[in-house]
């Protein structure tokens, strides 16, 4: 069946967009709208992430289109991000989501270190278009790996930061901790306060003017001397998970700052695995996931005592 559409030209030498006015599949739709373009060429555009639907990059050939969808084709080949320290999980016109490796700062400190997640992504975006920008939304500790979100414009950054606790619906971490946790699940509730000189954060079980904080956890796997936990961060305070787990006598492996000893996996055992939020532009609920590193997920001290 013939599909009607309304074409819009945006930066004719770079992008073309169409508004869909009938149900279709993405591959067939693009093939029919691009004149003499071959099937191979359309497949190449999809595989190289040069086609988006409603500002979300799509690579799925049979992605379903409905009336009102905007299909945009960017004819400028995007250069893949070349970095061993992070990878792009998701990108659209408003946000970019990456999987950050442990040992990498989110952004520069007072020491102005060159290698940061912000600098790597900013350099990547500038290679595509010198007018591109990048803005910090939140941070992960240097030692923590996992999902990290940046904004591409000031308005999106402001919306995310000012409404973070309403926009973010879930933040899930995996933590490998010392000792055997006895409770199958639980909630740690305390007030966290940073000591100005040392910059260390301390947990108090009473309100002393600190930040009230909640951390939920449940056991994933138990070993002879360690426990793998799934942690739901209900409030996002500095070093919250690290301090809270130390406060119940189970510091994260390798976290010497907060009570941990030498790590059996060669890194701190903390990973930001999943974040679910309302997209700041579309208001749709989206989830971004970064695979749990094998060093954490497949840790083998010895035969596990039990799995959950």
Catalytic residues: 141
Q: Which of 140, 216, 228, 130 is nearest to 178 (CA)?
A: 228
Distance CA 162, CA 167 (A): 9
Supply 159's token pair. 């919306």
CA atoms within 13 A of residue 120's CA, in its CB half-sphere: 22
Question: What is the torsional sign of CA 29, 32, 34, 36?
Answer: positive
Supply 50's token pair. 């040069």
E strand or H helix that includes residue 15 = strand 15-20
Distance CA 238, CA 211 (A): 10
Find out whether 100 and 85 touch, Cβ atoms under 8 Å. yes
**In the chain, alpha helices (H):** 26-33, 39-47, 117-128, 154-162, 164-167, 240-247, 294-297
Looking at the chain, how many residues does it have?
308
E strand or H helix that includes residue 215 = strand 211-222
């Amino acid at each position: 069946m013939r599909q009607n559409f309304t074409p819009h030209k945006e930066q004719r030498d770079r992008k073309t967009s169409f508004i869909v006015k009938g149900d279709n599949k993405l591959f067939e739709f693009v093939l029919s709208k691009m004149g003499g373009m071959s099937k191979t060429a359309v497949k190449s555009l999809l595989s190289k992430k040069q086609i988006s639907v409603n500002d979300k990059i799509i690579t799925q050939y049979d992605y379903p289109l409905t009336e009102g969808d905007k299909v945009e084709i960017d004819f400028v080949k995007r250069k893949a991000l070349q970095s061993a320290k992070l990878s792009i999980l998701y990108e659209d016109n408003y946000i970019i989501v990456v999987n950050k490796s442990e040992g990498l700062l989110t952004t520069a400190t007072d020491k102005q270190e060159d290698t940061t997640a912000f600098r790597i992504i900013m350099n990547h975006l500038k290679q595509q278009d010198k007018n591109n920008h990048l803005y910090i939304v939140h941070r992960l500790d240097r030692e923590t790996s996992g999902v990290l979100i940046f904004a591409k414009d000031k308005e999106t950054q402001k919306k995310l930061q000012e409404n973070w606790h309403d926009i973010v619906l879930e933040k899930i971490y995996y933590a490998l901790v010392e000792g055997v946790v006895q409770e199958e699940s639980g909630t740690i509730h305390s007030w966290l306060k940073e000591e100005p000189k040392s910059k260390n954060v301390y947990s108090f079980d009473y309100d002393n003017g600190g930040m009230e904080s909640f951390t939920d956890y449940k056991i994933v796997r138990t070993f002879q001397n360690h426990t793998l936990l799934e942690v739901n961060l209900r409030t996002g305070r500095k070093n919250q998970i690290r301090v809270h787990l130390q406060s119940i006598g189970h510091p994260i492996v390798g976290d010497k700052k907060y009570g941990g000893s030498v790590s059996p996996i060669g890194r701190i055992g903390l990973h930001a695995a999943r974040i679910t939020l309302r997209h700041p532009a579309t208001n749709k609920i989206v989830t971004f996931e970064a695979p749990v590193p094998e060093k954490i997920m497949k840790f083998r001290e010895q035969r596990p005592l039990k799995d959950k």
